[in-house]
């Protein structure tokens, strides 16, 4: 992945790669099941924001390895924290930037997706899971609770009673159960989960980028806002797309029975 001035970006705990218009970020602390330390999260947010700014990247795939997407925040790093040291470090400001990425993020997960790993996955827009995936919020076993959206996003996604069970027992659920509860889009054999995510990312990458961006924003509005506000937001986005060259091209191509060429303008 090229940096702003064309230099190669160097990261310690993540890897970045490209496959056509798809940016691929791989969490890379395999010796600790991709536990999310502060530096990894900083690097992840920087890479996501670089890809968000890069017009040649249309969609992003976020993955780990077969054994772990991420087994949560780094417990060694957190063990000696106090309420005040956590407050002063203010890690949430960096974390919250993940939710502001405009381009679709497709999570390709396998193995452990726990705690902060589950919260990271729930910040993604589409999730492809391997059959070996185990998803949970085990913070209760450490004497704490989720702090990066686990009680809120999980409840909105799976409903009250399942969220209660997962959060209060700390026990992970299987990929198949996650599929039934709408936490993941698709479950595939472990050899296929990354390729499946990249194929889906390429399909979305071929769509008109402005429509992709405004659809993502509108869907996220549906989660955070009352219906009337979401509908008003959707309508304004719909009008706005009629100011785009891609709307003219998309509709003209349909009428002329040819494939559209979208430019993102």
Binding of residue 168 to ligand DAK (CB under 6 A): no
> Which residues are registered as beta bridge partners of 8?
2
Residue nearest to ligand DAK (CB): 115
Among 51, 60, 61, 73, binds ligand DAK (CB under 6 A): 73
For the chain, how far is it from start to end, CA to CA, in angstroms? 24
Residue in 43, 119, 177, 196 annotated catalytic: 119
Residue 191 designated active-site: no
Check residue 33 for interaction with ligand DAK (CB under 6 A): yes
Q: Is 66 helix (H, G, I), strand (E, B) or coil?
A: coil
Based on the shown chain and the rule CB under 6 A, indicate whether residue 71 belongs to the binding site for ligand DAK.
yes
Q: What is the H or E stretch that residue 128 is in?
A: strand 126-130
Size of the site for ligand DAK (CB under 6 A): 22
With CB under 6 A as the contact rule, the residue among 72, 104, 208, 209 that binds ligand DAK is 72
72 is a catalytic site residue:
no
Task: Verify binding: residue 188, ligand DAK, rule CB under 6 A.
Answer: no
Q: If binding is defined by CB under 6 A, does position 64 make contact with ligand DAK?
A: no
- Which whole-number Å values give the CA distances from 255 to 147, 208, 244, 252, 265, in the listed order? 51, 17, 17, 5, 20
What are 17's two structure tokens? 């790669």
- Name the nearest CA neighbour of 182 among 157, 210, 201, 207: 157
CB within 8 Å of 76: residues ≥ 6 apart = 35
As measured in angstroms, the least distance from the Cβ of 148 to ligand DAK is 3
Taking residues 138 to 167 in sequence order and writing x for each that binds ligand DAK by CB under 6 A, - otherwise, the string is xx--x----xx-------------------
Q: Is 119 among the catalytic positions?
A: yes
Which of 22, 25, 119, 126 touches ligand DAK by CB under 6 A?
119
Q: Is 68 a catalytic residue?
A: no
CA distances 20 to 104, 156, 212, 265, Å, are 15, 34, 17, 20
Taking each helix axis from N to C end, the angle separating 245-255 and 209-224, rounded to the nearest 10 degrees, works out to: 110
Chain residues in the site for ligand DAK (CB under 6 A) = 32-33, 35, 71-76, 91-92, 95, 112, 114-116, 119, 138-139, 142, 147-148
Catalytic residues: 73, 116, 119, 139
């Amino acid at each position: 992945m090229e940096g702003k001035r064309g230099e190669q970006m160097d990261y310690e705990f993540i890897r970045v790669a490209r496959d056509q218009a798809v940016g691929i970020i791989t969490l890379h602390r395999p010796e600790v099941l991709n536990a999310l330390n502060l530096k990894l999260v900083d690097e992840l947010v920087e890479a996501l924001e670089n890809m968000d700014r890069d017009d040649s990247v249309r969609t992003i795939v976020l993955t780990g390895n077969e054994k772990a997407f991420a087994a949560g925040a780094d417990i060694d790093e957190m063990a000696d924290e106090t309420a005040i040291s956590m407050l002063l470090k203010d890690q949430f400001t960096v974390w919250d930037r993940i939710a502001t990425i405009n381009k679709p993020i497709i999570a390709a997960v396998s193995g452990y997706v726990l705690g902060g790993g589950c919260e990271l996955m729930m910040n993604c827009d589409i999730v492809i899971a391997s059959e070996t995936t185990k998803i949970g919020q085990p913070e209760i076993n450490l004497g704490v609770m989720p702090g990066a959206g686990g009680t809120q996003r999980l409840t909105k996604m799976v409903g009250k009673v399942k969220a209660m069970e997962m959060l209060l027992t700390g026990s992970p659920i299987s990929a198949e159960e996650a599929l039934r509860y709408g936490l993941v889009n698709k479950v595939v054999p472990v050899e296929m989960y990354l390729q499946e995510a990249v194929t889906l990312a390429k399909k979305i990458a071929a769509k008109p980028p402005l429509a992709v961006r405004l659809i993502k924003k509108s869907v996220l509005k549906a989660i955070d806002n009352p219906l009337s506000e979401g509908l008003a937001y959707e309508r304004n986005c719909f009008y706005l797309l009629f100011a785009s060259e891609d709307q003219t091209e998309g509709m003209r191509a349909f009428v002329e029975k040819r494939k559209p060429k979208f430019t993102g303008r």
